[in-house]
Amino acid sequence: MQADGPLRARASTAYPQLNKAIENRFAGHYKPAFTEIFRQAADAENEASSDPTLLGASFYDWVIEDSYKTAHLSRWVVSISGKRYEHTGGAHGNTTFFNANFWTRNGRVEPVRLGQIFKPMYLRQERVEQLIRHELKAQKALWLKDVTRKELLGGAFTFSKKGLEFNYHPYTVGPYTQGSFRVLLPMAEIRHLIFPGGPMSRLAKAK
């Protein structure tokens, strides 16, 4: 989808491509969320760019571009990563991440929460946080010591047979000049932490 607004403003997005069987089961859940994200962006763009004084800046060539990639697809779980590039006339644009994770439980499709993936005791004991911090320290994230546990675990996450992946946009764990950060917690390191019967349980058993 694409929407062109005044003053050369542009918003664009595209849906992830799923096979028919998976699409029939999950599309009614993730597509409305993505459509609403796009609609809000397009509406804001058209309103602000038609009257640049609304936010006190020039909105010529205002751009929002959404893209998606699938981390895992199966009949019982879908994990999709979304990325947004946005430029609103400031010194530079910025990238943010979001996700769409759904699974089937008791015959119903439900959103996946991070707390459903791990055994609760490991979230309370901060083991998952420690793994994330270790990886970000290796990547030399400059603001890591000031980032809270809630912020680290609040990163957009997806999962697959490879493990659990978190994405942090610029300004989250480091300055803009460091860009975004990707943290993969390999399955080999987290398999014993995964909650039996949870969204990642079948992936944890796969070889």
The pLDDT-based confidence of 56 (bands split at 50, 70, 90) is very low
pLDDT of residue 181: 97
Mean pLDDT, range 178-184, rounded to an integer: 96
pLDDT at 120: 87
- Residues 7-12 have a mean pLDDT of 59
Section 86-95 average pLDDT: 79
What are 119-159's pLDDT values in tens digits? 988 887 789 999 999 999 999 999 999 999 999 999 999 99
Instruction: Name all contacts of 160-163 with Cβ < 8 Å and 24+ positions apart.
Output: 160/71, 160/72, 160/79, 160/203, 161/72, 161/187, 161/203, 161/206, 162/186, 162/187, 163/187, 163/188, 163/189, 163/190
Average pLDDT over the chain reads 81
- Span 1-112: which CATH code? 3.30.565.40
41 pLDDT band, cuts 50/70/90, is low
Give the least confident one: 18-22, 65-69, 134-138, 163-167. Answer: 18-22
159 three-state secondary structure: strand
Hey, do 1-112 and 113-207 end up sharing a CATH topology, with the first three levels equal?
no
Question: What is the CATH code of the structural domain delimited by 113-207?
Answer: 3.90.640.20
Domain boundaries, the chain: 1-112, 113-207
